[in-house]
């Protein structure tokens, strides 16, 4: 009699976007931003006011503390809480912009239960639109939109082709990093860097760079039990 084949050891466990996912994501982003703090601040020193790295780590430390103190509020409320923490702790221009990303996820994701990958991608698309409205920025303005837009588009495309969430977020992270790197030759048209005019050319945008790390952290959260940070940008 034939022996049934053992289930494949490499078969993937479907990742659920639940409270634990939000917790893994916030820890992963905190870790990545802490690793990249000096790098992000150097980028901001070139075309801004040299505080992006410290602002972002301060915001994520606050989000970790808030999330750990809170009970399981569900995915949407969890992301909304992250948004509030970032708005409170980051300040400047990045606080409201990053806060808007997560507040929009909190407002647009299903309010009860786990969230599926398609609904999550739709929430990120809404978050991109909200950031674009707030900053009046389009792709090519040398802002965080230059990383988020290609990241969201690639996530949607890969999910549409049947990739699982981890694979789709892996591809989305590469697209977001590519978008961040592609800001280097651009002249800034929005934000503080735009005051520099031609002198903003030749520097990678700090906000696009940190936004690429958001996708990397989402990918880590989708890869149980989590993956180590990729080598630092660029
Ligand atoms: Mg700054």
pLDDT tens readout for residues 165-209: 999 999 999 999 999 999 999 999 998 888 888 988 999 999 999
Around 84, how many Cα atoms within 13 Å sit in the side-chain half-sphere? 11
Q: What are 115's strand-pairing partners?
A: 17
Quick one: tokens of 83?
A: 């948004």
Mean pLDDT value across residues 101-110: 97
Q: Is pLDDT at 25 greater than 70 in this prediction?
A: yes
- pLDDT of 71 reads 86
- pLDDT of 15 reads 82
- How far away, in angstroms, is 177 Cα from ligand 1 center? 20
Helix (H, G, I), strand (E, B) or coil at 17: strand
- How far away, in angstroms, is 145 Cα from ligand 1 center? 16
- How far away, in angstroms, is 51 Cα from ligand 1 center? 5
Alpha-carbon span 117 to 166, nearest angstrom: 10
| pLDDT tens-digit series, residues 49-86 | 999 999 999 999 999 999 999 888 899 999 999 999 99
- Mean pLDDT score across all residues of the chain: 90
Residues with CB under 5 A from ligand 1 (ion): 44, 48-49, 51-52
CATH 1.25.40.340 fits 19-221, yes or no: yes
Residue count of the chain: 234
- How far away, in angstroms, is 55 Cα from ligand 1 center? 8
Q: Is pLDDT at 91 greater than 90 in this prediction?
A: no
- pLDDT of 232 reads 46
């Amino acid at each position: 009699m034939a022996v049934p084949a053992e289930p494949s050891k490499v078969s993937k466990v479907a990742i659920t976007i639940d409270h634990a996912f939000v917790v893994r994501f916030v820890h992963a982003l905190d870790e990545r931003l802490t690793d990249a703090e000096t790098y992000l601040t150097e980028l901001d020193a070139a075309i801004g006011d040299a505080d992006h790295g410290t602002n972002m780590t301060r915001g994520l430390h606050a989000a970790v503390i808030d999330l750990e103190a809170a009970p399981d509020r569900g995915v949407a409320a969890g992301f909304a809480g992250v948004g509030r923490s970032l708005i409170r702790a980051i300040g400047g221009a990045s606080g409201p912009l990053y806060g808007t990303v997560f507040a929009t996820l909190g407002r647009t994701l299903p309010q009860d239960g786990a969230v599926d990958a398609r609904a999550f991608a739709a929430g990120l698309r809404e978050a991109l639109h909200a950031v674009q409205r707030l900053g009046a920025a389009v792709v090519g303005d040398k802002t965080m939109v230059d990383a988020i837009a290609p990241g969201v588009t690639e996530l949607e495309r890969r999910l549409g082709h049947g990739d699982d969430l981890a694979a789709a977020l892996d591809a989305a992270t590469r697209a977001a990093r590519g978008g961040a790197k592609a800001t280097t030759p651009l002249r800034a048209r929005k934000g503080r860097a735009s005051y520099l005019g031609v002198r903003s050319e030749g520097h990678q945008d700090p906000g696009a760079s940190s936004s690429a790390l958001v996708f990397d952290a989402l990918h880590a959260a989708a890869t149980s039990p989590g993956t180590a940070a990729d080598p630092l940008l660029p």
